Amino acid sequence: MLLFGFRDHKSLYSLLSKVEGMGLIHKHILISRTMKISLWGITSDGLAVVLTPDDALFPARFEPSKITGWTLEHHLDNQAARIILEQKGASGWINGDRTTFLSRYQTSHRPDGLITLPGGTVIAIETERRLKTKARYQSIIASHLLARTRKDWIYIFYIVPDPQKKRGLERLFDSIRHVIINHQHIQLEARHRNVFRIYTLADLEQLELKHYC
């Protein structure tokens, strides 16, 4: 509904039924101990329709057997962040685990995705539902700073589900005083920290992208 701007579920289900009948998407019901949810994923025929010249390989189709509760939440967060930013004029989303990214960027850490803002600024997207250790964030920060030095991307947006998780991630980042780059301890200064932005999805919806152009 977010993508198409539908105000009711009836219109959405009607569209999904039509596209499913065309063989472009496939419906799967995921049942776990905590949820029962209907999912629609793209088929190989659907991928053939949306394939672009930039796709060096045929993208992966929807495979329900690979979905778990955690991966689903993470994937949906990525989708929501992407849709919100695209509705604000961003474009050119690249998944961090896709061939396009792997062939173009040489980094020790892959973000969840990259997207280009209207003014041409490339940002990395990290969606966080579960906080990592301080040591892990030190390594990730170092990787992002090196990528920024190469101008692979300029800002890193961390997207979290709620204000409490945002507060926790901010405190973790504040506790990191240095990172290790090329075997050297680099003290983190304001100019380093400024490239990392932490938002909830609600924050992202209100964000003015002109501040990053």
Q: pTM value?
A: 0.79
Domain count, the chain: 2
Per-residue confidence (pLDDT) for residue 31, from 0 to 100: 77
The pLDDT assigned to 29 comes to 86
Structure tokens at 114: 């990259």
> Residue 4: is its pLDDT beyond 70?
no
Domain end position, chosen among 23, 47, 67: 67
- Note whether 11 and 105 are same-domain residues: no
| Pair 45, 106 in one domain | no
The pair of structure tokens assigned to 35 is 């949820």
Q: What is the residue range of 56's domain?
A: 1-67
- The predicted structure's pLDDT at residue 109: 94
Integer Cα distance of 174 and 211 in angstroms: 23
In this prediction, residue 203 carries a pLDDT of: 97
Is the pLDDT at 14 greater than 80? The verdict is yes
- Integer Cα distance of 62 and 41 in angstroms: 5
Average pLDDT on 99-110 reads 86
- 40, 16 contact by CB (below 8 A): yes
Are 72 and 62 contained in the same domain?
no
Task: Compare 121 and 34 and report the one with higher pLDDT.
Answer: 121
Tell me which residue of 150, 152, 71, 83 sits closest to 111, measured CA to CA: 152
Specify whether 26 is located in the same domain as 118.
no
Tell me which amino acid residue 148 is.
R
Same domain, 208 and 110: yes
**2 and 34: one domain?**
yes
Give the per-residue pLDDT at 3.
Answer: 63
Give the C-alpha separation, 121 to 155, whole Å: 8
